[in-house]
A and B are shown apart, each in its own frame.
Chain A
Amino acid sequence: QKEVEQNSGPLSVPEGAIASLNCTYSDRGSQSFFWYRQYSGKSPELIMFIYSNGDKEDGRFTAQLNKASQYVSLLIRDSQPSDSATYLCAVKSSGGSYIPTFGRGTSLIVHP
């Protein structure tokens, strides 16, 4: 059973702070890692993906991948109230499967 674990939160940070969201996965053969943002009552939308060990930056967002330790994280710098949402980690394993496994999501609250 492939598992993706996330702390459900809520994670509460003040405006302007760095929010750090973490995700661990059980399948060591996992190849692709995705972060989706889901606002309340809306559908998930992709904000970051990462395939290789290390950091990947896109604006205020940084995804970090450590395959040896089997975790992937998302850092949000200069957090804004508009970042308040649930963040879903998704992991796709190797072997030709196109099925990503989702974590349960972490609720982030950015307060002014």
Chain B
Amino acid sequence: NAGVTQTPKFQVLKTGQSMTLQCAQDMNHNSMYWYRQDPGMGLRLIYYSASEGTTDKGEVPNGYNVSRLNKREFSLRLESAAPSQTSVYFCASSEKGGELFFGEGSRLTVL
């Protein structure tokens, strides 16, 4: 049982490049989330999807887009990466506001 799988685990980008972080869960959860974590800042919500077919902005959505491809997959896209987007990104899933299950994280550096 893989739980929540994120790819890639590490990525280095140049300013202005684009990339997509992929996330898939095999727990049949309805809700999925993208967080970023910076030193001393805790977990900040970028976007979430309460159920298949819906997405909503979180606390820090600027510079990001998301797609809920199906119930299993929720991707995060950076259209034009900026150094301020250097962070660790976590995907998570849950069922009706219960426990969040996190992926292993994706460490992104933007030069």
Are these two chains actual partners, yes or no?
yes
A82 interface residue (CB < 8 Å to B) = no
B31 interface residue (CB < 8 Å to A) = yes
The reply to whether B42 and A103 form a contact with Cβ atoms under 8 Å apart is yes
Query: In the complex where A49-B99, A98-B50, A99-B58 touch, is A88 in contact with B42 (Cβ < 8 A)?
Result: yes
Contact with A along B86-111 (1 / 0, CB 8 A): 00001000101111101111000000
A22 interface residue (CB < 8 Å to B) = no
Q: Which of A32, A45, A97, A102 makes the CB contact (< 8 A) with B43?
A: A102
CB distance from B53 to the nearest CB of A (A): 15
The reply to whether B94 and A102 form a contact with Cβ atoms under 8 Å apart is no
Q: Which residues of chain A come closer than 8 Å to B43, judged between CB atoms?
A: 44, 88, 102
User: How distant is the Cα of A49 from the Cα of B44 in the complex, in angstroms?
Assistant: 20
CB distance from A99 to the nearest CB of B (A): 6
The reply to whether B41 and A104 form a contact with Cβ atoms under 8 Å apart is yes
Query: In the complex where A34-B99, A49-B99 touch, is A102 in contact with B42 (Cβ < 8 A)?
Result: yes
B45 interface residue (CB < 8 Å to A) = yes
Query: In the complex where A8-B40, A99-B45, A102-B42 touch, is A43 in contact with B97 (Cβ < 8 A)?
Result: no
User: How distant is the Cα of A103 from the Cα of B37 in the complex, in angstroms?
Assistant: 12
Shortest Cβ distance from A97 into B: residue: B97
The reply to whether B102 and A44 form a contact with Cβ atoms under 8 Å apart is yes
Q: Which of the four size classes fits the interface of chain A?
A: 20 to 34
Q: Which of B42, B94, B99, B102 makes the CB contact (< 8 A) with A43?
A: B102
User: How distant is the Cα of A77 from the Cα of B104 in the complex, in angstroms?
Assistant: 28
B34 interface residue (CB < 8 Å to A) = no
Q: Which residues of chain B come closer than 8 Å to A88, judged between CB atoms?
A: 42-43
User: How distant is the Cα of A72 from the Cα of B48 in the complex, in angstroms?
Assistant: 25
**Interfacial residues, chain A to chain B (CB-CB below 8 A):** 8, 32, 34, 36, 42-46, 49, 88, 90, 92, 97-100, 102-105
**Interfacial residues, chain B to chain A (CB-CB below 8 A):** 31, 33, 40-45, 48, 50, 58, 90, 94, 96-100, 102-105
